[in-house]
Amino acid sequence: MQLSDRVLKIEASQSLVMTARAKAMKAAGVDVISMSLGEPDMDTPKHVQKAAQEAVANHWSHYGPVPGIPTLREAVANYQNSVAGNAIPWIADDVLVSVGAKMAIYNALQAVINPGDEVIIPTPSWVSYSEMVKLAEGEVVRVETKYEDRYCLTPEQLKKALTPKTRMIILCSPNNPTGSVYSKEELEQLATVLREHPDVYILADEIYNELLYTSPDSPITFSAFPDLAERLIIINGVSKAYAMTGYRIGWLMSKNKALINACIRLQGQQITCATMVAQKAAEAALTGDQKCVEEMRKVFASRRELICELAARIPGLKFHKPQGAFYLFPDVSAWGTGDEVAERLLEEAHVAVVSGSAFGCPSCIRLSYAVSGDEIRNAMERIAALLNK
């Protein structure tokens, strides 16, 4: 039986594949430490859990409006208005709630990209961007950023990559997998280049913007530039900041009414609406006490210090200290390719990591420090022992 060309040309998520392998080994009795999945290991905050339980009890179990319940859309708009550096007035009508941030990105690409349109993706980049561009029949334009630039796109690289066929650029800050964060000055330089190309959409993936370890005026966002508002698509969600990955609530924000309406039509044919109980839980997360977010950020900040301290003890391991998110992305080319090192770490050291090839940087590996301090110590001991050997 025939399968579609579109599904045959996309790759499986290597982070999910590695996580599945680690789980299978654990089930077989192998003591595996998994540092492959980008998921907070904390519990969802109690007040959010309570809101979900109350939503069930109050019969939030029927179809809802396609773009999301009005109170959640308003909460999202208010949240974005409070983000440091934001200069665009957001309202509920600018928000489309989806089943996770991944679906929000998919909707944006499907609504904007026609066959042959080019999408610029600075690499290293999250594994799913390029595959979703392929599903939209667009052309992926990968721009290899440099270690010396903290793997951040430079204005010179952006100028070179832009063509008359460019329809979108995707930027993720704080970045998965590198942990790098674009400074205000760096974003201003990119914005200056993009002003010369008014037909190019800017998709800003800000899913990690609450997990930031840089200056207090951060996170810096493209919503700092009001003149780009009609071209800006902001992606975010509750998965990372509130440990709600399984609730699957994310959103797309745009001041472009034609784009928002197109995405609403598309989503109406896909899923009708995001799960109502999960929407009420997400509303509670955004409108409730935010101490839980800061507490989680402090835990990750402490783990960042720990993993960087241990990694610095391994001669030849080259890395930048992450400025955000919860990933370390070291260069392991002194020992081989990222694929080779990741495979040996799993099979011999029983530590699951993701090869940098999944993110477009085959000389590196990605380690998620969304695990306990004891697991970080144990894993880094095993990694050091294998690399030293």
Shared domain check, 260 and 111: yes
At 380 the pLDDT is 98
Q: Where are the beta strands (DSSP E) in 316-378?
A: 327-328, 351-352, 354-355, 365-368
At 12 the pLDDT is 79
Contacts 24+ apart (CB under 8 A), 256-263: 256/230, 256/231, 257/93, 259/108, 259/111, 259/112, 259/233, 260/67, 260/93, 260/94, 260/96, 262/111, 263/96, 263/107, 263/108, 263/111
Average pLDDT over every residue of 366-372: 97
- The distance from CA 345 to its chain's CA centroid, rounded to whole angstroms, is 25
Q: Which of 242, 362, 283 is nearest to 97 (CA)?
A: 283
- Type of residue at 282: A
Q: How confident is the model at residue 219 (pLDDT cuts 50, 70, 90)?
A: low
In the block, residue with structure tokens 């997360």 = 285
Note the pLDDT tens digit of each residue in 310-329. Answer: 999 999 999 999 999 999 99
- Do 81 and 255 contact (CB within 8 A), yes or no? no
Q: How far apart are CA 168 and CA 200, in angstroms?
A: 5
DSSP 230: G
Q: How far apart are CA 107 and CA 113, in angstroms?
A: 10
- Do 124 and 360 contact (CB within 8 A), yes or no? yes
Shared domain check, 165 and 25: no
Shared domain check, 351 and 383: yes
Average pLDDT over every residue of 245-261: 98
Shared domain check, 158 and 277: yes
At 20 the pLDDT is 87
Average pLDDT over every residue of 38-56: 97
Q: How far apart are CA 190 and CA 186, in angstroms?
A: 6
Q: Print burial letters for 269-307: b (CB count within 10 Å at least 16), e (below 16).
A: eeeebbbbbbbbbbbbbbbbebebbeebbebbeebbeeb
Beta pairing partners, 355: 365
Average pLDDT over every residue of 203-226: 87
SS3 state at 167: strand
At 6 the pLDDT is 87
Phi, psi of 317, rounded to the nearest 5 degrees? -85, 120
Q: Which residue, 262, 287, 312, sits at the end of a domain?
A: 287
Average pLDDT over every residue of 376-384: 98
Shared domain check, 176 and 256: yes
Q: How confident is the model at residue 216 (pLDDT cuts 50, 70, 90)?
A: low
- Do 310 and 316 contact (CB within 8 A), yes or no? no
Shared domain check, 337 and 193: no
Phi, psi of 205, rounded to the nearest 5 degrees? -85, 110
Q: How far apart are CA 64 and CA 57, in angstroms?
A: 17
Beta pairing partners, 172: 205
Q: Find all residues with CB under 8 Å of 196, minimum gap 6, and list them.
A: none
More confident residue, 130 or 20: 130
- For the domain that residue 178 is a member of, what is the CATH number? 3.40.640.10
Instruction: Show the tokens assigned to 347.
Output: 């099979």
Shared domain check, 235 and 152: yes
SS3 state at 351: strand
Shared domain check, 68 and 39: no
Q: Which residue, 241, 265, 287, sits at the end of a domain?
A: 287
**Number of folded domains in the chain?**
2
Instruction: Show the tokens assigned to 366.
Output: 């990605």
- For the domain that residue 322 is a member of, what is the CATH number? 3.90.1150.10
Q: Find all residues with CB under 8 Å of 113, minimum gap 6, and list them.
A: 119, 133, 136, 137, 138, 167, 168
Which of 4-18, 104-118, 122-136, 295-309 is predicted with the least confidence, judged by mean pLDDT?
Answer: 4-18
Beta pairing partners, 201: 168
Beta pairing partners, 234: 204, 253
DSSP string for residues in 247-285: G--EEEE-S-HHHHHHHHHHHHHHTSSS-HHHHHHHHHH
Shared domain check, 296 and 270: no
Q: How far apart are CA 91 and CA 192, in angstroms?
A: 26
Phi, psi of 273, rounded to the nearest 5 degrees? -155, 160
Instruction: Show the tokens assigned to 111.
Output: 């609504």
Q: Which residue, 247, 263, 287, sits at the end of a domain?
A: 287
Shared domain check, 229 and 329: no
Shared domain check, 281 and 300: no
In the block, residue with structure tokens 């090192």 = 341
Instruction: Show the tokens assigned to 211.
Output: 């997990």
At 214 the pLDDT is 80
- Kindly report the average pLDDT of the chain as a whole number: 95
Which of 15-24, 71-80, 142-151, 244-253 is predicted with the least confidence, judged by mean pLDDT?
Answer: 15-24
At 67 the pLDDT is 98
Q: Find all residues with CB under 8 Å of 12, minimum gap 6, and list them.
A: none
Q: Which domain holds residue 229?
A: 46-287
Phi, psi of 323, rounded to the nearest 5 degrees? -95, -15
Shared domain check, 325 and 276: no
- Do 361 and 124 contact (CB within 8 A), yes or no? yes
Q: How far apart are CA 148 and CA 145, in angstroms?
A: 9
At 17 the pLDDT is 84
Which of 122-136, 205-219, 221-235 is predicted with the least confidence, judged by mean pLDDT?
Answer: 205-219
Note the pLDDT tens digit of each residue in 155-212. Answer: 999 999 999 999 999 999 999 999 999 999 999 999 999 999 999 999 999 999 999 9
Average pLDDT over every residue of 369-385: 97
